[in-house]
Amino acid sequence: MRKKYGDLKRVGNVIVFPTTVNRLLAEGMTFLKDEKYEDARDSLYQVLTYEPEHAAALGGYTYCLYELGEFEEALEVCKELLKVGPIHYLETMELYISILMQVREFEEAEKMIELLIEEKVLPEERLEQFQQLRELNERIAANVSTELVDASLYAIDTFLAMHPSEQEKLILDLPTASYQALKKRLLAIIEHPDADLLTKTYILFMLYQEKIEAEVNVQKFHYKGTFNIDDLPDPMNNGRIRKITATMEEALAKDPTRLELVKELFERHIYLLYPFIWDDYDEAEVAQGYMDYTEGLFTGMSSFNEDEKLLELIQQAELWFEMRNG
């Protein structure tokens, strides 16, 4: 019985004539050309028993395993081939990516394609071919992940019937490969006025991180806007947010306890209001508003004048959290 490639060992002190290896290699390649994959596999396996790092034999052997549906072993052999240095690099990479897709390692396949494109090693005539391979990988990944996910749970009526914590968990547990397949349903959740506000934020974060192309209408409190997913602000590295935080830190440098309270409140609201970032106020006004609000907590102030719209927004946001968590 033929052993797997991983079981191969060097032949030790046995003398192997070069003509033996060459004969077996030529025999294997002829079988391969004639699409006699089992015969080709067996001949090339014998070559590898003598020369485990023979690049041509590794390449042909990998292709035979792929055609015979022995994908796990094909992946193992192909990785060895890439370490040794394949004779035909692009053809080997295409085969490697195809094997990754067969064993459902879709993220690794995506990474390899992206690397090839970014490093600009693909000639113009091969670029379109690898882009098509990338699209195929995305479609297969989406279909496979959808098989594992009950898509009906994301239908708008079913989704809204759940408690906000259940909505949140359902989104956070969703595999990344499912985002594209469920894009329309996820966008419908974001756009529905009754969907949980934090859940909307999580969906927006996920779509942005996975570079899902879409346009979406968002409404939170008095804010309304239309956004392209790829143009969404980055909440973790946003110049406006940094300026507001820096203003708070400077003003409350001598009162670290209150500063911690202000920043905690502000950061909580960043996620609640996202993708809006207090667009109708300048940075200094926002920082002052949060400092005034926390001051009111100590002085007992519980209501605001009609012109204090920012303080009203902060209060509404806190009431929202109380109702959600209550």
HEC assignment per residue over 4-15: CHHHCCCCCCCC
Question: Which tokens sit at 277?
Answer: 């970032």
Burial of 57 by CB count in 10 Å (0-12 exposed, 13-18 middle, 19+ buried)?
A: buried
Angle between helices 309-325 and 283-299 (to 10 degrees): 60
Angle between helices 18-33 and 55-67 (to 10 degrees): 30
Cα dist from 248 to 212, 256, 293, 311, 322, whole Å:
35, 11, 13, 16, 25
Measured in residues, the chain has a length of: 326
Q: Kindly state the helix (H) or strand (E) to which residue 223 belongs, with its residue range.
A: strand 223-228
Coil/strand/helix, residue 18: helix
Q: What is the pLDDT of residue 146?
A: 56
Largest CA distance in the chain: 96
Phi, psi angle pair for 92, to nearest 5°: -65, -40
Q: What is the pLDDT of residue 15?
A: 46
Cα dist from 182 to 67, 176, 212, 324, whole Å:
32, 10, 11, 26
Q: Are 293 and 310 in contact (CB under 8 A)?
A: no
Residue with tokens 């907590």: 297
String of DSSP letters for 305-320: -TT-HHHHHHHHHHHH
Residue with tokens 């009609």: 306
Q: What is the pLDDT of residue 305?
A: 47
CA distance 309 to 286: 11
In the predicted model, residues of the chain with pLDDT beneath 70 are 1-18, 121, 124-125, 127, 137, 139-148, 300-307, 326
String of DSSP letters for 123-185: -HHHHHHHHHHHHHHHHHHHHHHHHHS-GGGGSHHHHHTS-HHHHHHHHHTS-GGGTTTTHHH
CA distance 241 to 274: 12
Residue 1: partners with Cβ closer than 8 Å, 6 or more residues away: none
Q: What is the pLDDT of residue 249?
A: 96
Cα dist from 194 to 99, 157, 190, 273, 276, whole Å:
44, 10, 9, 15, 18
